[in-house]
Structure 1
């Protein structure tokens, strides 16, 4: 798996997890969903993603986006 696919999979898991937690625990978990969405949006324009940087330092194979 390259960095692009890992970042997208991780974002999807965090979004789904925060939606489930907001439903069963507390609505403030939706702020995590908003944070992940904003991070994906800004990385589309700037090309900077903290998770991609961490994965690159760990030696994962780069994709076309990161």
Structure 2
């Protein structure tokens, strides 16, 4: 998989996990979903995403 594919997969999985935790465990988990959304928004403007840095160090290609 390429870097962008893995990034989208991780973001989607994390959103699903946070929504499941919010529904089945504690409504406060919605803030994790908000954190993910804000990170995606800031990366659209700044062109920098912390997860991309981690994935590059793990050896994923662009």
Same fold (TM over 0.5): yes
Q: What's the C-alpha RMSD, in Å, of the aligned pairs?
A: 0.7
In the comparison of the two structures, how many residue pairs are matched?
62
Runs (5+) with no aligned partner, structure 1? none
Runs (5+) with no aligned partner, structure 2? none
Q: More helix per residue: 1 or 2?
A: 2
Give TM-score scaled by structure 1 length. Answer: 0.88
Matches of 2:58 and 2:10 in 1, distance apart?
A: 16
Give TM-score scaled by structure 2 length. Answer: 0.93
